[in-house]
Every structure is written in C-alpha cells, then in structure tokens.
Structure 1
C-alpha cells in the first residue's frame, strides 16, 4: 500500500484529493498550517491523520516528512497542493505580499520535493503532482505574485520530470480552473459573475473533479505520463 502525502490537505482541493487517494487504497497523510479545528474535524470525519507545519519553512518540511514516514512509511506520492493568495494590483502590492506568496506556493514546492526526492530515488519510484492554476497559464489582474508562482511551478515540474525519469519518478502539474472552495468563496459577487460568464461550462469545478485528475497522474499505470500540465478548467483557457 503506497503512502501519499498531500500538503494543504485538510480542506478544499487538498481534502478532496486526500479522500480520493484513501478511497483508491493509498495510506494518506494530510499536511496543514493553520486552522487546527478544521484539521481535527477532517481527521475525525475521514480517519486521515493530519500533520502541522508551514511548507515555507525548509527545516519544518524535513521534520514533517520524517514524522509522516515514522507514522505511515516512506512517502511515495507527493501532492504539493498548499497555496495562498495575497491579491493586489502590482502598483499597490507590498514586498511582503510578494514574498509571502512566493515562499509558500513556490518555495513550499521546492521544500517538500527536496524532503522526499532522495527517498524516491533510492526506492526508484515516485509520483509528484504540483498544483498550478489556470491563472498561471492565462494571467489574472491583481495576481502577479500568485500567477508567477503557478507559472513557475510548471517550469519546476518539467525540469524535475527530466531529472526523475530514469528513477521511475514522474512529476506532473494540475492546473485547476475556478473551483468551489473557500478561496473562491471570498471573491466578490460581481467578480464571480464575470468569472462564471467566462467559463464555457457555466459553473465552477468541484474539488472532487480536480482530485480525479491527481488520482490519474499518481497511479502506477501512469508511469509514461511525465512533465505535463493537466488543465481542468471547464474550457476557460485552452493552451
């Protein structure tokens, strides 16, 4: 039974992904950084253990992965889902807003991959999925920081795919469109109306629909799928 670790895994897309992996027979751990009451409720409901650390902290990621592996076994599947927004137009964006988003979204991916890649190479197996965004492909006003991190994840994923291929390690990205999560719930109604009008499907994605894409990419049978970005956006943006 393979061990999977999902960052930002106690709510939203991360929680749906963790639950889908559990239903598919994986042993699953979910990382979280804030809102311990949400994590406790998630564990009580699903039985999936949660582990708290900030993915922006390199040392915390090393220690966190060690804790997961002590409890469940070596991490063979890593889903880098943790992410934040600090939206502002560039001419109003603070250096702190810029750095915080880069540290979590892009730095967190590096930290987590760095903490797990050695073991994957030794065991000659690994599945890594990095959670991008439609806005990393198409851009979005007020999100130069967020879009930069999500676009950066795609380049990171392609390079890592080349490095890991000879060790049976795949690295792929998923680029969700607008999804029915707490992050999107915070969008003002007038802006949400414009977003929905731009989605040919006429609705938001469900977290389970995004999780289905992750589940496909991490399967043992997906070994020849490497370095891709799987867009799940209802037709909003087609590269």
Structure 2
C-alpha cells in the first residue's frame, strides 16, 4: 500500500517506487534526479555503465532522496525477468520511465541486419520485457504512470536512422494502444519525444538517437535556436509521472524547440 498524496504536496510521489531505465546517461539521470526531489524511491537501471547509476544513487541519497541501482541487460529475457521479479519482491513499481535506447546509424542500403535488430530490440522489445511484468501489480494499486521516451526522429525522420525511427515510432504507437487498455484502472501511459538535447558527455549537442549537431545546425533546425537541456525534458516527464497529470494519457508530447 502506498502513501496517499495530493497535487499540492511538495513531495507528491512519496511512497511511490519509480524505475528509470538508462539512468546512467544525461537524460536518464536528470529524470531520476527530478523524480527523487518529488519523493519517489528510484530504481536506477543501467547495463554497460553500472558505476554511473551507483554514483547517481549515492548522489540522490546524499541529497536526502532514496535510490538504488539495478543492473541488467534489457536485451536478455532471463536477465530482465529476474530483475523485475526482484523489484516486485519489495512491492509494486508504480512509475516506469522507459528511457533506455541505443542507436547504430547507417544509411539504409548499407545497414546490416544486426544494426536493425539490436536497435529495435533494446528500444522496443526492451520496453515490453521490462514493462509487461510490472503492469499487473501496478494495476492492483489503481494508480500508475508509464512514460516512454520517444524521439523527434520517429515523427519527422532522420537520415541514417531508419532503424531508430522505426523503433521509436513503434514505441509511440504502443504508447497509444497501452493507454487505452490501462486508463480505467488509474494508470496513464504517455510518450515524450525530445528533439536536440544538450549532452555534457559530448562536445556538441545530440538528438534523434545520438546524432551530433553543431551550433550552426541547431540554429538552422530549431526555431528557438538552442538545444534543449536534459532538465527541461526531466521536468516534463516528472509532470506526466505526477498526480496532476491524471487526465493526460495516450499522448506523444514533443519537446523540441519548435522543430517540425
């Protein structure tokens, strides 16, 4: 049983457990940090960078929040099943942020089958593997939030990213269908589609699955003429994960500075 909260509560997610996949990256860590300030207990997923989520968990805890790392491969059925079983042993996970994804760019005529399959597997099949076992326990609480991180590439396309656009486009469609299934039980499902987002890990800014954009390209492509910040995306995700967003479901919300 979770602690009742209200929209005016300064910690409206107190008592809620939230999984953020891909939490070791700039966007995932910003989302996790924002949810922690709202009182959620964070389950911080990573696979290739376990030290990143360990450090993030320590940072959140030092700031007065609550977090723990969970390390597993979203591409491994058995590993995901074991991880979700372990998570559920401590109670339902009522907030799921499907942020993990990879890109492996190539123009379509030269794309290898492995490039297509791996990108689809992590972004789309990974969403299924981790979310499906968490849904029924979430439904029993009659409250839940699922937020899937999509991409402007799925809406507008991007050269060299047919695989990534396909994966994120399918995720957008899955969002809309799943929202219809879960709406009557107090669980909302939405997608956020970021555009070009600044990354402190890169010399420039990234978007559409990791594609690099220099300052001139950003001015040409983005009407507000700047890259977005991970914290701006995190603020939108946190709103959708909170009590005030209970009447928003089945939506794909772009956050891209006016890109079309």
1:150 to 164, 168, 188: 168
Higher helix fraction: Structure 1 or Structure 2? 1
Instruction: Give, in whole Å, the separation in 1 of the partners of 2:227 and 2:99.
Output: 18
1:126 to 131, 135, 144: 144
User: Which deviates the most, 18-27 or 60-69?
Assistant: 60-69
1:194 aligns with: 217
Count of residue pairs the alignment pairs up? 235
How far the C-alpha of 1:68 sits from its partner, in A, is: 2.6
How far the C-alpha of 1:189 sits from its partner, in A, is: 6.2
1:62 and 2:76 correspond: no
Instruction: Give, in whole Å, the separation in 1 of the partners of 2:80 and 2:244.
Output: 28
How far the C-alpha of 1:44 sits from its partner, in A, is: 2.6
How far the C-alpha of 1:202 sits from its partner, in A, is: 1.0
Contact 1:84 1:101 in 2 (8 A): yes
What's the TM-score, normalizing by structure 1? 0.92
1:7 to 12, 17, 21: 21
Contact 1:4 1:28 in 2 (8 A): yes
Instruction: Give, in whole Å, the separation in 1 of the partners of 2:25 and 2:109.
Output: 32
Contact 1:61 1:115 in 2 (8 A): no
Contact 2:35 2:238 in 1 (8 A): yes
What's the TM-score, normalizing by structure 2? 0.85
What RMSD, in angstroms, separates the aligned Cα atoms of the two structures?
Answer: 1.7
The answer for unaligned runs of 5 or more in structure 1 is none
Structure 1 runs of 4+ aligned residues shifted over 3 Å read: 182-190
1:88 aligns with: 106
Instruction: Give, in whole Å, the separation in 2 of the partners of 1:216 and 1:151.
Output: 23
How far the C-alpha of 1:188 sits from its partner, in A, is: 5.2
How far the C-alpha of 1:32 sits from its partner, in A, is: 0.4
2:131 aligns with: 113
How far the C-alpha of 1:99 sits from its partner, in A, is: 0.2
